[in-house]
C-alpha cells in the first residue's frame, strides 16, 4: 500500500516554489502578494487562514490579511474586493468561505478579478477549467491531481467515483479527472446524497474520492480491492480530526490512500501558493 503523503509532497512543492519566488523577486523588484479576506469568527476558517498565511510567509509571498467582523456589510466586503482588484502589490485575492449568514458569497466571488482569482472560484475560471483553457483551478482538486501525478498513479482509462458535488471540490474534481492537460483521462461518476446503490457504485471505483464531510463515511465494503482512495474530508470530532474514510478499516484493501491529516489538506495550501505565483508571473508579464 502506498501512503499518499501530502505533507511531504507539499513540502517538496513549497521548497521548489521558494526558489522560484526568490529568482522572480530579483527580476520584478517585489514579492508576490496574496490578499486573504476572513469574515467572522468561524474557528475552522481561522485555522485555515492562519495556515495559509504561514505557508505564504515561508515561500516568500507577502500575505495581506483582512479580518472583518461577522456583522460587516455586503457593500464593505464588495468595496474591499474592488480596491484589492486595483492594487498593484496584490497578485491574488482569496475570500475564505463560508461567509457568515447574511452575506452573499457568490456576488463577492463574481467581483474578484479573474486574473487574481487564485482559488479558481470565479465563473470565468470555472468556465475556463470546463473548456480546458488556461486559468486557475481550485486548489483542493488541483492538489489531488498533483498528488496522483507525483506518485505516478495511473488514472487513464480508470473508473473514478467522486462522492460529493460541491463547487469547491466535487464538480471541479470531476472535470479534472475527465482530463486535465494531458493527465487523468478517467471515466468519472459523481455521486451524492440522492445516488441509489452508493455502496455498490463506490465498490466499482478504481479511484475513489470522498468529499462529503461526514466522518468515516466510506467503509471497507465500499472500496474495491486495490483501489486508490483520496480522502478530502476534514471533520472535527470528539476524537480529533477525522477523514471521510475509515482509514484503518480500508488501508489493507487499497493500493494507495491519503491520510487525514497530512493528505489532501497540505496539498490544497501548496496549490494556493502555485496559483499565487502564477498570478504574480502573469501580473508582471
Ligand atoms: N473553504 C473551504 N475550502 C476553501 C478553499 O479552498 N478556499 C476558500 N477560499 N475557502 C474555503
Assess whether 75 and 163 both reside in one domain.
Answer: no
Q: Which three cell numbers stand for residue 134?
A: 488556461
Q: What is the pLDDT at residue 28?
A: 97
pTM equals 0.98
Residue 49: inside a domain: yes
Residue 109: inside a domain: yes
Task: Give residues (CB < 6 A) around ligand 1.
Answer: 94-97, 119, 139-140, 168, 268
pLDDT, tens digit, 9 for 90 and up, residues 24-81: 999 999 999 999 999 999 999 999 999 999 999 999 999 999 999 999 999 999 999 9
Task: Report CA(45)–ligand 1 centroid distance (Å).
Answer: 8
Assess whether 104 and 164 both reside in one domain.
Answer: no
Residues 6+ apart with CB under 8 A from 173: 140, 141, 144, 162, 209, 211
Active site residue 96: yes
Please indicate if the annotation marks 165 as binding a ligand.
yes
Overall average pLDDT of the 258-282 stretch: 98
> Last residue of some domain: 81, 116, 151?
116
CATH of the domain at 151: 3.40.50.720
pLDDT, tens digit, 9 for 90 and up, residues 130-177: 999 999 999 999 999 999 999 999 999 999 999 999 999 999 999 999
Q: What is the pLDDT at residue 158?
A: 98
Assess whether 89 and 166 both reside in one domain.
Answer: no
Residue 134: inside a domain: no
Domain that holds residue 220: 139-265
CATH of the domain at 94: 3.40.50.10860
Please indicate if the annotation marks 120 as binding a ligand.
no
Please indicate if the annotation marks 263 as binding a ligand.
no
* Atom number in ligand 1 closest to CA 138: 6
Give which of 206, 272, 246 is closest to 14, Cα–Cα.
272
- 62: which strand partners? 33
Assess whether 252 and 178 both reside in one domain.
Answer: yes
Confidence at 185, pLDDT banded by 50, 70, 90: very high
Assess whether 240 and 158 both reside in one domain.
Answer: yes
The structural domain count of the chain equals 2
Assess whether 151 and 261 both reside in one domain.
Answer: yes
Report the mean per-residue pLDDT for the chain.
98
Assess whether 173 and 259 both reside in one domain.
Answer: yes
Assess whether 159 and 191 both reside in one domain.
Answer: yes
- Cα separations (Å) of 258 from 144, 148, 233, 262? 10, 10, 10, 8
- Residue 190 CA to its chain's centroid (Å): 17
Residue 163: inside a domain: yes
> Last residue of some domain: 116, 131, 154?
116
Task: Report CA(271)–ligand 1 centroid distance (Å).
Answer: 12
Q: What is the pLDDT at residue 228?
A: 99
- Cα separations (Å) of 78 from 37, 72, 172, 246? 11, 11, 25, 41
Give which of 16, 55, 14, 59 is closest to 36, Cα–Cα.
55
* Dihedral sign, Cα of residue 117, residue 120, residue 123, residue 126: positive
Assess whether 98 and 158 both reside in one domain.
Answer: no
Please indicate if the annotation marks 282 as binding a ligand.
no
Task: Report CA(97)–ligand 1 centroid distance (Å).
Answer: 5
Overall average pLDDT of the 205-212 stretch: 99
Assess whether 62 and 164 both reside in one domain.
Answer: no
Of residues 5, 119, 231, 246, which has the active-site annotation? 119
What share of the chain has pLDDT > 70, as a percent?
100
Choose one of 119, 142, 170 to mutate for the ligand 1 pocket test, by most ligand atoms within 8 angstroms of C-beta: 119
State whether ipTM is beyond 0.85: yes
* Atom number in ligand 1 closest to CA 94: 9
Assess whether 152 and 261 both reside in one domain.
Answer: yes
Question: For 245, phi and psi rounded to 5 degrees?
Answer: -115, 145
Residue owning grid cell 466586503: 77
Of residues 96, 116, 158, 224, which has the active-site annotation? 96
Residue 212: inside a domain: yes
The closest residue, in CA terms, to atom 3 on ligand 1 is 97
> Last residue of some domain: 83, 101, 116?
116
pLDDT, tens digit, 9 for 90 and up, residues 229-266: 999 999 999 999 999 999 999 999 999 999 999 999 99
Amino acid at each position: 500500500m502506498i501512503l499518499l503523503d501530502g505533507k511531504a509532497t507539499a513540502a517538496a512543492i513549497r521548497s521548489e516554489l521558494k526558489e522560484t519566488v526568490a529568482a522572480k523577486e530579483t527580476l520584478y523588484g517585489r514579492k508576490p502578494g496574496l490578499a486573504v479576506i476572513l469574515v467572522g469568527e468561524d474557528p475552522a476558517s481561522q485555522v485555515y487562514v492562519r495556515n495559509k498565511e504561514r505557508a505564504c510567509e515561508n515561500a516568500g509571498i507577502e500575505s495581506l490579511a483582512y479580518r472583518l467582523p461577522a456583522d460587516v456589510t455586503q457593500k464593505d466586503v464588495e468595496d474591499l474586493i474592488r480596491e484589492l482588484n486595483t492594487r498593484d502589490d496584490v497578485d491574488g485575492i482569496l475570500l475564505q468561505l463560508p461567509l457568515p449568514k447574511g452575506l452573499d458569497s457568490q456576488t463577492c466571488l463574481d467581483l474578484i478579478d479573474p486574473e487574481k482569482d487564485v482559488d479558481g472560484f470565479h465563473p470565468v475560471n470555472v468556465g475556463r477549467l470546463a473548456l480546458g483553457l488556461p486559468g486557475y483551478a481550485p486548489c483542493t482538486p488541483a492538489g489531488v491531481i498533483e498528488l496522483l501525478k507525483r506518485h505516478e498513479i495511473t488514472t487513464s482509462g480508470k473508473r473514478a467515483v467522486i462522492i460529493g458535488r460541491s463547487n469547491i471540490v466535487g464538480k471541479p474534481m470531476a472535470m479534472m479527472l475527465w482530463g486535465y492537460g494531458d493527465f487523468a483521462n478517467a471515466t468519472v461518476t459523481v455521486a451524492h446524497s440522492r445516488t441509489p446503490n452508493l455502496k455498490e457504485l463506490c465498490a466499482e471505483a478504481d479511484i475513489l474520492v470522498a468529499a462529503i464531510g461526514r466522518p468515516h463515511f466510506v467503509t471497507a465494503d465500499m472500496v474495491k480491492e486495490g483501489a486508490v482512495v483520496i480522502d478530502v474530508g476534514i471533520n472535527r470530532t470528539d476524537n480529533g480530526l477525522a477523514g471521510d474514510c475509515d482509514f484503518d478499516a480500508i488501508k489493507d484493501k487499497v493500493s494507495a490512500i491519503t491520510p487525514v491529516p497530512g493528505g489532501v489538506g497540505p496539498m490544497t495550501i501548496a496549490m494556493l501558493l502555485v496559483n499565487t505565483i502564477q498570478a504574480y508571473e502573469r501580473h508582471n508579464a
